[in-house]
Structure formats: C-alpha cells, structure tokens
Amino acid sequence: MAPIRMIDIAVNFTDGMFKGIYNGKQHHVSDIATVLSRAWNAGVDRIIVTGGSLEESKEALAIAETDGRLFCTVGVHPTRCKEFEESGDPEKHFQGLLALAKEGIQKGKVVAIGECGLDYDRLHFCPPEVQKKYFEKQFELAYATKLPMFLHMRAAAEDFCEIMERNINKFTGGVTHSFTGSAEDRDKLLSFHNMYIGVNGCSLKMAENLDVVRGIPVERMMIETDSPYCEIKSTHAGINFVKSLWPSKKKEKYDKECLVKGRNEPCLVRQVLEVLAGCKGITDIDLFSATLYQNTCRVFFPQDLDAAADALLAGRNESQ
C-alpha cells in the first residue's frame, strides 16, 4: 500500500523559534533544514509557509525558494492590519502585497492570499474596524491574482461570514485554518461551498472541540500544525489516539536528533491525522490521508489534482 502522504498547510517558519530564538534569547542554531528532514521522513511532502505581514510574506517567499516542496502565502494577519495605515500609504502597501504575490506566482511558490481574516480575541493588537476594513481589502488581492484564501477566524464568526458573503465571487476557494469555533461556526463555514476547514492541535484540545471537529466532513477538511504553536499536548482530549511519537529535549539541551519540548513542528501533522482518524472512528488511515491530500490539492495545487486522484484510486483498489 502507498505510504501516507501529507501536506501541512500552515507552518510559521518565519518565527524566531526556528532560528533557535525563544523570547529574544538564542538557545540553539537555526534548524529549519533539520526540521524539514524530519517532516519529509514522516510522510509530509509539501508545506505551506505562512505570511502574516508584508515583510513576513517576503521572508516566507525566500524560505519557500529554498526547497521544491515549500510554498507560501502572501497577506496580512488580522492582528497586524494596522500596518496598512502605519505604512503612511495604505494603497501603496496593498500594491506591495500584490506585486509580491505576483512575483511569487511566477516563481511557482505563492499558493494563497493570507493569512487574513478577523481575530476578536486579540483586539489589543488591532481594533475591529481596522481588521474588517483590511480583511475586505485583501479579497481584492485574491481577485487580482485568482488565488485561494488562507483565512483566520477567532471569536468573530458573524462579521467574518458577513464579509465572506459579500466577497464570495472574488475568490476561488479557501481554508479557515486553525479552527477552534463552535458547531454553529463550523456549519456557517461549511455553508460556503468552496470553504474548507483546517484542523491542528488547538482544534483538538477539549472533548467539546472533538465533538465539533467530528462534524466536519472528511471531504471538507485539511490538516496542519501551525507550528511552532498549537502542538497536541498530553492534556489534550484526543491524546490517546496519538500513535507516532518523537523523542524531545528542552531547548537548553538542544539535540538535533530530538524535537524541542514545547515547539511544534511539521512532522507532528501526523499526530493531527491520527487524532482525527481516532475521533471520527476511521480505520483506513491511508484512504483518509489520501482524501485530505486531494482536498488540499484541489484548493492550493489544482495542477496536481489528477495525480492525487490516481493515488487515491490506487489506494482504494488495493484496500478492496
């Protein structure tokens, strides 16, 4: 049977932790290459690096250019939307994002506009009116580039869905990543025919979260780590479903053969797959992962859909 293949749709490789920096202090060398090697060995075969500001999107593109299996997003996170106005010229800032996205598309690297959306849990970073204004503005990026959207929604489902509805014809599809909402939020998102839901450790914390996630149809789901954040912890409701484990050491005792305790990384997307399969009662994990892979290709890598479908069919036929 074909080995499990996974795409991690959300990795924050621009975060200092992957450069060995924690709370401003250097603890170990930059180790993206080591982290990638672990991911590829775990069955991950593509990663989307998240951009959350204009500068961060430039860095995400530079990182994506270092490996054929890395891709990235271009956009501004809701908590950073003040950067449009702080730049002194919001329209020029927008044009900078558009130019970067177009450059990244030509290089075959930029696969989505984002991370954008609304975050009402962290209004101290950016007020709701500013968030809404520039969330809406970024649909113009999606429209101009014909790219799907990589979305963020925290405690803001009503306004988020209202803005989505208004702009539904401006984008081809997308994923609301790191989903932690209610069953009602989930159903609102699923009512948009071209919307998928991204699940990571933060989506799987409590028994109530598992109940909500259980209701996401497999064909509308993607998996991610959102590393270095959102790991699955020993206190999480679905921990008993985890089968794949890696040794870990504290950052002070860094060892490249081990994970850094408390730092999530893309190889652990395998655990997300296992917890989802467990909580949904799925026994054929190969077919499950192939479906998730195909969902991800449908949105972000449409040129590869045929190959993904063939692999899916091959897997089905072998299991019969």
**Is 27 labelled as part of a ligand binding site?**
no
- Burial degree of 193 (CB within 10 A; 0-12, 13-18, 19+): exposed
Other CB atoms within a 10 A radius of the CB of residue 95 amount to 11
Which value, in Å, is the radius of gyration of the alpha carbons in the chain? 19
Q: Where exactly are the structural domains of the chain?
A: 6-318
Best CA proximity match to 215, nearest among 174, 161, 276: 276
Q: Residue 44 forms beta bridges with which residues?
A: 6
**Is 124 labelled as part of a ligand binding site?**
no
How many helical (H) and strand (E) elements, i.e. helices and strands, does the chain have? 11, 12
Distance CA 122, CA 14 (A): 21
Q: Which helix (H) or strand (E) holds 47?
A: strand 44-49
Task: Copy the structure tokens of residue 20.
Answer: 């060995």
Q: Residue 22 forms beta bridges with which residues?
A: 25
- Burial degree of 262 (CB within 10 A; 0-12, 13-18, 19+): middle
Are the CB atoms for 251 and 27 separated by under 8 Å? yes
Distance CA 305, CA 49 (A): 21
| Residue 7 pLDDT | 98
**Is 152 labelled as part of a ligand binding site?**
yes
Splitting the chain (320 residues) into consecutive groups of 10 residues, what average pLDDT does each group show? Answer: 84 97 95 97 97 98 97 98 96 98 98 97 96 98 97 96 95 96 97 96 96 96 98 94 96 96 97 97 94 96 74 53
**Is 93 labelled as part of a ligand binding site?**
no
The model carries a pTM of: 0.94
Distance CA 149, CA 179 (A): 15
Distance CA 308, CA 320 (A): 19
Distance CA 101, CA 147 (A): 9
What is the fold, at CATH topology level, of the domain defined by 6-318? TIM Barrel (3.20.20)
Distance CA 45, CA 62 (A): 19
Distance CA 171, CA 303 (A): 17
Best CA proximity match to 101, nearest among 91, 112, 90, 92: 112
